[in-house]
Amino acid sequence: MKLFCLSFIALHLICIPELNAQDLLNEIEGDDELQHVRASFKNPKVINAQSLETTHAGVLDFRISHRFGRLNGGLYELFGLDQASLRLSFDYGITDRFQIGVGRSTYEKTYDGHLKYRLLWQTEGSNKMPLSLVLFSTMSVNTLRFPNLTYERTFVTRLNYVHQMIIGRKFNTALSAEILPTIVHRNFVLTSAEKNTVYAIGGAARYKFVQRVAFNAEYFYVPEGQLAPGFTNSLSLGFDIETGGHVFQLHFTNSPIMIDKGFITETTGKWSKGDIHFGFNISRVFTMKQPKKPKE
Amino acid sequence: MLSRFLLIALFTLPSISEAQTKYFTKKGQISFYSDTPVEKIEAHNKRVTAILEKESGKIEFSVLITAFEFEKALMQEHFNENYMESSKYPKSTFKGNISNIQSVDFSKDGEYPLTLDGELTMHGVTRKVNEKGKLIISKGKISASATINVALKDYNISVPSVVGAKIAEIIRVEIVIPQFDLLKK
């Protein structure tokens, strides 16, 4: 009898694992597919700097960017609002990894074009790919009329190039950070104290403190000896506010220039002196090409 | 005493040892629709996992939130980032029972109405639900479908007032399993 009871209990114990296999789904779920990390930043631009994001495939991003004059202009200049510098741009996502774009700035009446390609894409969870690496390359053309000069300037002297790597990571839903090793090449510089090729490194981060609003900061450091005295490093701080199809970016920066060669190598403002410009970017996206509808 | 044990043993053992026939799919489809006068939004997911135990009627679904595809890429991003918070809550699941599974004759073609009871987990919130669906047997092929309504506020999904007019408070969710396959051990 005892033996029977024991064996009966034992039998039940053996069967318990079978009974407890309640989670049916475990029987069929394999390894999860790799998921790319999205929305490290709210926008392909942090403020002036490029972010880890690119425009989605088939999406056109039209942005209007303004930088006003210096806050230390005082009430007479309405804290800089009397002066405005503009950049209009169109960026388009050929694929989810590859973006092209063109822009036109008030600054030096510059036209610019760029290519941006995501080489490595951070993956979710399993850390198979811990970071993203994006390549960025832009060329700009200064179209100011040449002043009467004692020497001849050719078209080539109007051209400037910036090549950049953007390496970064979304650490959690709130915090993302990146570093931007950069080479700026200007075919023409005004004084011999300025180098044609300038090496710089940037850093940028965003902290999303509530849903739809993020704080951004970016800084570009140009090692000594490459620029004439009087040029400073660019520091910008701002907020992203997202409403449906728009992203509003409001910020303060010591650089009113919105093209890469400009804010990296031609910034003259100093935060410590109050040479701070208020500015905003408005980004509006248009879906030009819809992704294929799933077939029924 | 002995007879009582024998009795229990007789009743319980067969049910324990009997192998369950299980059907599954990884290609289930879930679509949802938000209709307001201002904007119609829909999204489709064709990688839904489901498993069904034929004898007990136990049924479970699992849906990867990031696999929902929208017409606009930005909508998809906002859906994941702001509404479903898919990095925090990557999956939605339903775990429950078909209470009237006995009425389904798996060997006979036909359309069988189903009653489902269970727990739906979404955006970190688990709620008891009771829904209706149907199972279709056609030439040995098993398929199923159901349409349910989900109120966003039941699952703590908040919609900011600026876009309030564009997103319906109650979302229609259509679930279609085109084919269940026999799970081979």
CB-CB under 8 Å, A11 with B22: no
Q: What is the ipTM of this complex?
A: 0.73
**How many other CB atoms are found less than 10 A from the CB of residue A226?**
17
* pLDDT at residue number A32: 64
* pLDDT at residue number B121: 95
Task: Say how far apart CA A13 and CA A118 lie, in whole Å.
Answer: 55
Looking at CA atoms only, how far is residue A22 from chain B in angstroms? 9
Residues from chain A contacting residue B12 (CB–CB below 8 Å): 12
At residue B161 the predicted structure's pLDDT band, cuts being 50, 70 and 90, is confident
| Single pTM value for the model | 0.80
Query: Which H or E element spans position A65?
Result: strand A59-70
* pLDDT at residue number A12: 54
In chain A, the domains with their CATH numbers are 39-287 (2.40.160.40)
Out of A24, A56, A173, the one facing B88 most closely (by C-beta) is A173
Q: pLDDT by residue (tens digit) across B76-101?
A: 988 998 899 988 898 999 999 999 98
* pLDDT at residue number A30: 66
Q: Phi then psi for B7, rounded to 5 degrees?
A: -60, -50
Show the beta-strand stretches assigned E in chain B. Answer: 22-35, 40-53, 58-64, 69-70, 91-98, 110-122, 125-138, 141-151, 170-182
Query: Under 8 Å CB-to-CB from A181, ≥6 apart: which residues?
Result: A164, A165, A167, A201, A202
Q: Which amino acid is at A253?
A: T
CATH number for the region B21-182 comes to 2.40.128.110
Q: Phi then psi for A107, rounded to 5 degrees?
A: -60, 115
Could you report the average pLDDT of every consecutive run of 10 residues in chain A (296 residues)? 58 47 70 79 93 93 94 88 92 95 95 96 82 96 84 88 96 94 94 92 94 94 92 95 86 95 94 94 88 53
Out of A28, A93, A124, the one facing B49 most closely (by C-beta) is A28
The 3-state DSSP class for residue A83 equals coil
CB-CB under 8 Å, A243 with B2: no
Mean pLDDT of B33-61: 91
Task: Say how far apart CA A179 and CA A164 lie, in whole Å.
Answer: 10
Residues from chain B contacting residue A12 (CB–CB below 8 Å): 12
Task: Say how far apart CA A212 and CA A244 lie, in whole Å.
Answer: 10
Q: pLDDT by residue (tens digit) across B66-76?
A: 999 998 888 89
CB-CB under 8 Å, A23 with B44: no
CB-CB under 8 Å, B5 with A4: yes
CA A138 to chain centre: 14
Q: Which amino acid is at B36?
A: T
* pLDDT at residue number B46: 93
* Interface contacts A/B by beta carbons within 8 Å: 96
| Residue B129 near residue B120, CB atoms below 8 Å | yes
Compare all CA atoms of chain A with the CA of B16 and give the residue at the minimum distance: A15
CB-CB under 8 Å, A291 with B62: no
**Least confident range of A144-148, A191-195, B4-8, B34-38:** B4-8
CB-CB under 8 Å, A27 with B51: yes
Q: Which amino acid is at B43?
A: A
